[in-house]
Structure 1
Amino acid sequence: MAASTASTYPFYQIDVFTDKGFLGNPLAVIVALDPALPFPNDEQMQKIANWTNLSETTFLLPPTDPTKADYKVRIFTPNTELPFAGHPTIGTCRAFLEHTQSKKTNLVQECEVGLVVLQVANNGSIAFIAPPLRKTGPVEEETVKVVCESMGIAREDVLDTQWVVNGPHWFALLLKDAETVLKASRVPTLASKQFEFGIVGQYPKAAAAAAASGEGKEDGNAPFFEIRAFPHVDLIDEDPVCGSFNAGVAQWLIGNGVAPASYVASQGLALGRRGRIFVHRDDSDLSLEASKRAVWVGGQTAVCIQGTIQV
């Protein structure tokens, strides 16, 4: 019996939420836009995602309706498929632009949750509109205590809490400052692993510019917040840089006046990364209630690997 012939597809590994490779959150992208090649099937996609062993692997496909979307994406963790995720959305868009050499600055992505609008800024950063929050409100005190115990955080250092569910069941703890976020000592407990949570702390104005680069030099990306997120998906405890958590936090903290309408967040320092998340609320139409204005969440990207993969 003759062996089946493998097909060869373009392959990218994109670092997301950074302009320098190896400092953000990596994403593998398999490009299946060539109509002459068969599309990988579900089993193949999941097997490849398990093999890359990254938090997410995406498959870039032709859109179902080219009049409505530029491309379609399917997103896989090592063990399951996701309807949407932030850093895979941004990274896949970069792979599409790189592969097609498109100069478009407004794009539409098709995925399981529907159509996602993206924008490409002059500096090359790519942003998506934060999905609506499905659950808000303060976090139950017993849950807060579980997280504090697993992070070595004193309860009095927690200024506020909020559910920011936008698909993933995130909740956030606002700590007294960025230093407290970075010094939190993660000791995973069985109870804490039942939750998807993150911690947020504001930088003092004087320290923000120094934190903007590894060398302490101001580079225009001075962070307003330091963020850490713990999704507990597929054995991942801490996420280097997380788009969905930042999207939820942005809507919460801009909405209650803690954050300005535009800011930069830092994430990943605790893991040796240097992620930067650009947040901007669209205030161009002041007739809209502030809560109904779009919040854009974006970041820069770096291509770290470009080649082919046989499937």
Structure 2
Amino acid sequence: MNKVKFFTCFYFLLAWLGLSAQQNPVFPGWYADPEGIIYDNTYWIFPTYSAPYEEQVFFDAFSSKDLVNWQKHHRIIDTSEVKWANKAMWAPGIIEKGGKYYFFFSANDVHEGEIGGIGVSVADKPEGPYKDLLGKPLINDIVNGAQPIDQFVFKDKDGQYYMYYGGWKHCNVVKLSDDFRSLVPFDDGTIYKEVTPENYVEGPFMFIRNNKYYFMWSEGGWGGPDYKVAYAIADNPFGPFERIGTILEQDKDIATGAGHHSVIKIPNEDTYYIVYHRRPLDKTGANERETSIDRMTFDEQGYINPVKMTFEGVKHPL
């Protein structure tokens, strides 16, 4: 019996005996690039539907009260609503503001001279349905070498919203207008600031802990086994972001291709979970990716400890 079959049988046996339950991946199906967040005392995950570009034309969402039992919300937005997107919608990001939910996404795998890039939509509920806010991309142009994809919207301590984005090994940060319909200049008059750290490829994410800015990103190729997550710590949202190390990568006993993540912080607790995609050991297809959740911890100096991928996952009722 090979290793993959052994571990699968082992965890099913434990579950049958009532000793354990396999909770990773957290829901069935090929889903990647998961954005995890808490709204209205409920966990939400907004992932990419992982499929060939011509089929990757809609988004599903998932909600849970305990990180274990998930409800699927099918097709919260698709290319019939986003007229300028004809394929490859992926890498969702979501933020609530003023009682509205703004859903950002990448579309069309845009290259120079093509229509595509980062779009934004809006709904009255986290599960949608979402309506295209602009009828065109918010960012279409390739600036500082950064393909306009993989956006993450971040609310700073002063209430200002920024968006980190970028593929092709370059990352920019931009300042968003109050209505999320446009970009506004920084104090120095510039619109785009490049903040690319060492070895950056794509998938930026930011959070604040103890007044420090933790900037995270993915490295390697998303379609292969060596995909991973690294991070930096800075005193402000613009860096400089000096690479500290890798905190999530493949495990020969669990999965490969672990990356493009987000982080959920439990309210009023110093408890953090990393939400990410990974590829089963017996799969090699680029789109064969599943969403999982594991605990993310820190040492006494505030550095992130390496994340141990598990089949058990986590449980945390809200």
**TM-score of the superposition, structure 2-length normalised?**
0.28
Q: Which structure: larger Rg?
A: 1
Which of 1 and 2 has higher RCO (CA within 8 Å, sep 6+)? Answer: 1
Bigger share in helix:
1
**TM-score of the superposition, structure 1-length normalised?**
0.29
Bigger share in strand:
2
